[in-house]
Amino acid sequence: MYVWPCAVVLAQYLWFHRRSLPGKAILEIGAGVSLPGILAAKCGAEVILSDSSELPHCLEVCRQSCQMNNLPQLQVLGLTWGHVSWDLLALPPQDVILASDVFFEPEDFEDILTTIYFLMQKNPKVQLWSTYQVRSADWSLEALLYKWDMKCVHIPLESFDADKEDIAESALPGRHTVEMLVISFAKDSL
């Protein structure tokens, strides 16, 4: 498994907002190596990592990242997008959901938003902080966001010092086009 360019950009966003993180309940979905979630935990957030319950090796990668970063107490859950599992039902309300490079397969987009919608029922103020790599100009979330009653704000990379080919000594962002989105419940007044 890799750390994807999106993960470095999302980690930079978290680092930029690190003073707001202590005590926040944060869930990372499709976490893989879990760079953003690990950073959030190091900054004082209450973090839960998750990856597909059908991909045990990915869950094992999440656990290894916790061990390697001296965070053995972090919970790692199998959460498959679009599935309402016992683990999803049992989750406490979250403040932030992290999603780095999960919008890579259009057929998964609605499943991801269904899971986010479910978490919005537990806390209507929850925000999805997500980075995605632009792979096709034809892909759009707009219609699905409208269908699921969500709104989206694009965060310019320069506003959090991520408009560079190298971020925090990582050359991964390179020339990939990565975008940062904050998605929330459309009826939330914030």
Ligand X SMILES: C[S@@+](CC[C@H](N)C(=O)[O-])C[C@H]1O[C@@H](n2cnc3c(N)ncnc32)[C@H](O)[C@@H]1O
Q: Which stretches of the chain bind ligand X, using CB under 6 A?
A: 3-4, 6-7, 30-33, 51-52, 55, 58, 80-81, 100-102, 104, 108
Q: Three-class SS of residue 53?
A: coil
Report in angstroms how near the CB of residue 100 gets to ligand X at its nearest: 3
In angstroms, what is the minimal distance from the CB of 108 to ligand X?
6
The nearest distance, CB 142 to ligand X, in angstroms, is 22
Nearer of residues 33 and 183 to ligand X, judged by Cβ? 33
Q: Closer CB to ligand X, residue 16 or residue 124?
A: 16
Cβ burial, residue 107 (10 Å; 0-12/13-18/19+): exposed
Q: Which is nearer to ligand X, 99 or 150 (CB)?
A: 99
Whole-number Å distance between alpha carbons of 8 and 18: 15
Pairing between β-strand 75-78 and β-strand 46-51 as defined by DSSP bridges: parallel
Minimum CB distance to ligand X, residue 1 (Å): 7
Instruction: Evaluate whether 85 touches 118 at the Cβ level (below 8 Å).
Output: no
Rounded to whole angstroms, the Cα distance separating 46 from 27 reads 8
User: Which of 2/146 has CB closer to ligand X?
Assistant: 2
Dist. CA 74–CA 27, nearest whole Å: 11
Closest CA to 144 of 119, 107, 177: 107
Half-sphere exposure of 38 (CA within 13 A, CB side): 20
* Smaller CB separation from ligand X, 104 or 148: 104
The minimum distance between CB 106 and ligand X, in angstroms, equals 13
